[in-house]
Amino acid sequence: MMSKMKLLLLLCLMGSIPLSGAAEEQPGYDRISLSVAASEKVGNDTLNAILYFQAQGRNISEVSDKVNQVIAWGVDHAARVPDIDVQTLDYQTRPLYQDGKPTGSWLVRHSIRLESRDAASLSSLLGELQKKLAIQHIGYRLSPDKRRHVEDALIKRVITRFKQRAHLVAQQFDAGDFRIVSLGISSSGEQHRPIPMMRTMAMSEPLEMAAPVLESGEQMIQVGIEGVIELLLTREP
Protein backbone atom coordinates (compact mmCIF):
# COMPACT_ATOMS: atom_id res chain seq x y z
CA MET A 1 0.00 0.00 0.00
CA MET A 2 2.86 2.37 0.90
CA SER A 3 4.68 1.60 -2.35
CA LYS A 4 1.57 2.55 -4.34
CA MET A 5 1.32 5.85 -2.50
CA LYS A 6 4.99 6.60 -3.25
CA LEU A 7 4.45 5.78 -6.94
CA LEU A 8 1.46 8.12 -7.19
CA LEU A 9 3.39 10.90 -5.47
CA LEU A 10 6.32 10.42 -7.86
CA LEU A 11 4.03 10.63 -10.90
CA CYS A 12 2.45 13.84 -9.58
CA LEU A 13 5.85 15.42 -9.07
CA MET A 14 6.96 14.46 -12.59
CA GLY A 15 3.79 15.98 -14.05
CA SER A 16 4.47 19.28 -12.33
CA ILE A 17 7.97 19.64 -13.78
CA PRO A 18 7.78 21.78 -16.99
CA LEU A 19 9.51 20.46 -20.09
CA SER A 20 12.35 22.61 -21.41
CA GLY A 21 10.59 23.20 -24.77
CA ALA A 22 7.27 24.07 -23.16
CA ALA A 23 8.91 26.38 -20.66
CA GLU A 24 10.24 28.63 -23.45
CA GLU A 25 7.85 31.36 -24.43
CA GLN A 26 6.69 30.90 -28.03
CA PRO A 27 6.61 33.96 -30.29
CA GLY A 28 3.16 35.23 -31.30
CA TYR A 29 1.94 34.91 -34.89
CA ASP A 30 -0.75 36.73 -36.87
CA ARG A 31 -2.07 35.12 -40.04
CA ILE A 32 -2.96 37.09 -43.17
CA SER A 33 -4.34 35.85 -46.50
CA LEU A 34 -2.82 37.23 -49.69
CA SER A 35 -3.60 36.80 -53.37
CA VAL A 36 -1.54 37.83 -56.38
CA ALA A 37 -2.10 37.29 -60.10
CA ALA A 38 -0.25 37.91 -63.36
CA SER A 39 -1.52 37.52 -66.91
CA GLU A 40 -0.26 37.68 -70.47
CA LYS A 41 -1.84 37.64 -73.93
CA VAL A 42 -0.46 34.85 -76.09
CA GLY A 43 -1.04 34.07 -79.75
CA ASN A 44 -2.60 30.68 -80.48
CA ASP A 45 -0.26 28.46 -82.44
CA THR A 46 -2.16 25.22 -83.14
CA LEU A 47 -5.08 24.82 -85.55
CA ASN A 48 -7.40 21.84 -85.31
CA ALA A 49 -10.37 20.83 -87.43
CA ILE A 50 -13.00 18.10 -87.45
CA LEU A 51 -14.43 16.93 -90.78
CA TYR A 52 -17.02 14.29 -91.50
CA PHE A 53 -18.80 12.39 -94.23
CA GLN A 54 -22.21 10.81 -93.95
CA ALA A 55 -24.50 8.88 -96.28
CA GLN A 56 -27.78 7.05 -96.03
CA GLY A 57 -29.52 4.19 -97.80
CA ARG A 58 -31.44 0.98 -97.32
CA ASN A 59 -28.44 -1.28 -97.84
CA ILE A 60 -26.29 -0.69 -94.76
CA SER A 61 -23.30 -2.54 -96.24
CA GLU A 62 -23.21 -0.33 -99.32
CA VAL A 63 -23.67 2.85 -97.27
CA SER A 64 -20.90 1.86 -94.84
CA ASP A 65 -18.57 1.01 -97.71
CA LYS A 66 -19.19 4.40 -99.32
CA VAL A 67 -18.48 6.25 -96.07
CA ASN A 68 -15.34 4.20 -95.43
CA GLN A 69 -13.99 4.95 -98.91
CA VAL A 70 -14.48 8.71 -98.55
CA ILE A 71 -12.90 8.79 -95.08
CA ALA A 72 -9.98 6.72 -96.35
CA TRP A 73 -9.58 9.24 -99.17
CA GLY A 74 -9.48 12.10 -96.64
CA VAL A 75 -6.99 10.36 -94.36
CA ASP A 76 -4.73 9.54 -97.31
CA HIS A 77 -4.72 13.17 -98.51
CA ALA A 78 -3.99 14.46 -95.00
CA ALA A 79 -1.18 11.96 -94.45
CA ARG A 80 0.64 13.32 -97.51
CA VAL A 81 0.95 16.80 -95.97
CA PRO A 82 3.92 17.18 -93.58
CA ASP A 83 3.43 18.21 -89.94
CA ILE A 84 -0.29 17.43 -89.83
CA ASP A 85 -1.62 14.96 -87.26
CA VAL A 86 -4.56 12.83 -88.39
CA GLN A 87 -6.97 10.98 -86.10
CA THR A 88 -10.19 9.13 -86.92
CA LEU A 89 -13.08 9.83 -84.55
CA ASP A 90 -16.61 8.55 -84.00
CA TYR A 91 -18.16 6.04 -86.37
CA GLN A 92 -21.95 6.19 -86.10
CA THR A 93 -24.60 3.93 -87.58
CA ARG A 94 -28.29 4.47 -86.81
CA PRO A 95 -31.66 3.65 -88.37
CA LEU A 96 -33.81 6.45 -89.74
CA TYR A 97 -37.36 7.02 -88.57
CA GLN A 98 -40.36 8.91 -89.92
CA ASP A 99 -43.39 9.62 -87.75
CA GLY A 100 -41.91 7.33 -85.14
CA LYS A 101 -41.67 4.37 -87.52
CA PRO A 102 -38.49 2.92 -89.07
CA THR A 103 -38.10 3.74 -92.75
CA GLY A 104 -35.76 0.85 -93.48
CA SER A 105 -32.92 3.28 -94.27
CA TRP A 106 -29.71 3.72 -92.35
CA LEU A 107 -27.49 6.73 -91.70
CA VAL A 108 -23.74 6.16 -91.43
CA ARG A 109 -21.38 8.91 -90.36
CA HIS A 110 -17.63 8.99 -89.75
CA SER A 111 -15.33 11.88 -88.85
CA ILE A 112 -11.63 12.71 -88.69
CA ARG A 113 -9.64 15.24 -86.71
CA LEU A 114 -6.69 17.20 -88.12
CA GLU A 115 -4.22 19.29 -86.14
CA SER A 116 -1.13 21.29 -87.07
CA ARG A 117 0.96 24.29 -86.09
CA ASP A 118 1.26 25.13 -89.79
CA ALA A 119 -2.05 26.93 -90.24
CA ALA A 120 -1.38 27.77 -93.89
CA SER A 121 -0.83 24.13 -94.86
CA LEU A 122 -3.85 22.91 -92.91
CA SER A 123 -6.06 25.65 -94.34
CA SER A 124 -5.03 24.68 -97.87
CA LEU A 125 -5.69 21.01 -97.07
CA LEU A 126 -9.16 21.85 -95.77
CA GLY A 127 -9.98 23.51 -99.06
CA GLU A 128 -9.02 20.28 -100.84
CA LEU A 129 -10.87 17.97 -98.44
CA GLN A 130 -14.09 19.96 -98.75
CA LYS A 131 -14.53 18.39 -102.17
CA LYS A 132 -15.93 15.36 -100.35
CA LEU A 133 -15.93 16.10 -96.63
CA ALA A 134 -17.86 18.65 -94.62
CA ILE A 135 -16.25 20.77 -91.89
CA GLN A 136 -17.89 20.36 -88.51
CA HIS A 137 -15.50 22.41 -86.38
CA ILE A 138 -12.37 24.54 -86.63
CA GLY A 139 -10.58 25.93 -83.59
CA TYR A 140 -7.28 27.34 -82.38
CA ARG A 141 -5.45 26.51 -79.19
CA LEU A 142 -2.07 26.85 -77.55
CA SER A 143 0.29 23.95 -77.93
CA PRO A 144 1.20 22.30 -74.58
CA ASP A 145 4.84 23.36 -74.93
CA LYS A 146 3.99 27.01 -75.48
CA ARG A 147 1.40 27.06 -72.69
CA ARG A 148 3.90 25.48 -70.28
CA HIS A 149 6.57 28.02 -71.23
CA VAL A 150 4.21 30.96 -70.65
CA GLU A 151 2.87 29.54 -67.37
CA ASP A 152 6.40 28.94 -66.04
CA ALA A 153 7.31 32.58 -66.72
CA LEU A 154 4.10 33.79 -65.05
CA ILE A 155 4.70 31.58 -62.01
CA LYS A 156 8.10 33.18 -61.45
CA ARG A 157 6.47 36.60 -61.77
CA VAL A 158 3.66 35.97 -59.29
CA ILE A 159 5.99 34.37 -56.74
CA THR A 160 8.17 37.49 -56.83
CA ARG A 161 5.08 39.69 -56.43
CA PHE A 162 3.77 37.53 -53.59
CA LYS A 163 7.02 37.84 -51.65
CA GLN A 164 7.12 41.59 -52.25
CA ARG A 165 3.57 42.00 -51.00
CA ALA A 166 4.23 39.77 -47.99
CA HIS A 167 7.28 41.89 -47.05
CA LEU A 168 5.21 45.05 -47.47
CA VAL A 169 2.46 43.72 -45.19
CA ALA A 170 5.00 42.64 -42.58
CA GLN A 171 6.59 46.11 -42.58
CA GLN A 172 3.21 47.83 -42.17
CA PHE A 173 2.47 45.73 -39.10
CA ASP A 174 5.98 46.33 -37.66
CA ALA A 175 6.73 42.63 -37.93
CA GLY A 176 10.29 41.44 -37.97
CA ASP A 177 9.62 38.79 -40.60
CA PHE A 178 7.00 36.36 -41.93
CA ARG A 179 6.68 32.76 -42.89
CA ILE A 180 4.43 31.03 -45.41
CA VAL A 181 1.75 28.80 -43.91
CA SER A 182 0.07 27.65 -47.14
CA LEU A 183 0.37 28.42 -50.82
CA GLY A 184 -1.69 27.45 -53.86
CA ILE A 185 -0.91 28.23 -57.50
CA SER A 186 -3.58 28.06 -60.21
CA SER A 187 -3.68 28.87 -63.91
CA SER A 188 -6.50 29.68 -66.27
CA GLY A 189 -6.97 30.41 -69.94
CA GLU A 190 -9.13 29.34 -72.85
CA GLN A 191 -7.98 25.92 -74.03
CA HIS A 192 -9.71 26.11 -77.40
CA ARG A 193 -10.97 29.03 -79.46
CA PRO A 194 -13.64 27.68 -81.80
CA ILE A 195 -14.23 29.33 -85.17
CA PRO A 196 -17.92 29.25 -86.16
CA MET A 197 -18.54 27.18 -89.26
CA MET A 198 -21.69 26.49 -91.24
CA ARG A 199 -22.60 22.83 -91.08
CA THR A 200 -23.32 21.40 -94.51
CA MET A 201 -23.99 17.96 -95.87
CA ALA A 202 -20.96 16.42 -97.50
CA MET A 203 -21.27 16.04 -101.25
CA SER A 204 -20.43 12.84 -103.06
CA GLU A 205 -19.39 14.71 -106.21
CA PRO A 206 -16.15 16.78 -106.22
CA LEU A 207 -16.66 20.50 -105.67
CA GLU A 208 -14.20 23.34 -106.12
CA MET A 209 -14.22 25.20 -102.80
CA ALA A 210 -11.86 27.88 -101.54
CA ALA A 211 -9.78 27.26 -98.44
CA PRO A 212 -11.33 28.85 -95.32
CA VAL A 213 -9.89 32.17 -94.16
CA LEU A 214 -8.58 31.71 -90.62
CA GLU A 215 -7.26 34.06 -87.96
CA SER A 216 -5.57 32.49 -84.93
CA GLY A 217 -6.18 35.34 -82.49
CA GLU A 218 -4.91 35.52 -78.92
CA GLN A 219 -5.93 34.23 -75.54
CA MET A 220 -5.25 35.44 -72.02
CA ILE A 221 -3.23 33.16 -69.76
CA GLN A 222 -3.39 33.96 -66.06
CA VAL A 223 -1.55 32.49 -63.09
CA GLY A 224 -2.62 33.29 -59.55
CA ILE A 225 -1.36 32.60 -56.04
CA GLU A 226 -3.58 32.24 -52.98
CA GLY A 227 -1.54 32.04 -49.81
CA VAL A 228 -1.50 32.56 -46.05
CA ILE A 229 1.44 34.07 -44.19
CA GLU A 230 2.19 34.36 -40.47
CA LEU A 231 3.71 37.58 -39.22
CA LEU A 232 6.49 37.21 -36.69
CA LEU A 233 5.57 40.09 -34.38
CA THR A 234 8.11 41.58 -32.02
CA ARG A 235 6.66 41.51 -28.52
CA GLU A 236 7.09 44.41 -26.14
CA PRO A 237 9.06 43.56 -22.97
Nearest to 232 by CA among 32, 67, 61, 83: 32
The answer on 137 and 106 residing in a single domain is: yes
The answer on 127 and 117 residing in a single domain is: yes
Identify the band that residue 199 occupies on the pLDDT scale cut at 50, 70 and 90. very low
The answer on 118 and 90 residing in a single domain is: yes
Asked whether residue 17 carries a pLDDT value surpassing 80, the answer given is no
Asked whether residue 3 carries a pLDDT value surpassing 60, the answer given is no
207 within domain boundaries = no
Assign 232 to helix, strand or coil. Answer: strand
The answer on 109 and 41 residing in a single domain is: no
For 182, the domain range is 27-45+143-201+216-237
Asked whether residue 12 carries a pLDDT value surpassing 80, the answer given is no
Identify the band that residue 90 occupies on the pLDDT scale cut at 50, 70 and 90. confident
| CA pair distance 109, 70, nearest whole angstrom | 11
Q: Which of 116, 141, 166 is the last residue of a domain?
A: 141
Choice among 87-101, 117-131, 165-179, 203-217 with the minimum mean pLDDT = 203-217
Q: What is the mean pLDDT of residues 35-51?
A: 93
| CA pair distance 4, 136, nearest whole angstrom | 88
Nearest to 228 by CA among 172, 175, 162: 162
Identify the band that residue 219 occupies on the pLDDT scale cut at 50, 70 and 90. confident
16 within domain boundaries = no
Q: How many domains does the chain have?
A: 2
229 within domain boundaries = yes
5 within domain boundaries = no
The answer on 221 and 157 residing in a single domain is: yes
The answer on 147 and 133 residing in a single domain is: no
CB atoms within 10 A of CB 133: 25
Q: Would you state the pLDDT for residue 113?
A: 97
Identify the band that residue 152 occupies on the pLDDT scale cut at 50, 70 and 90. very high
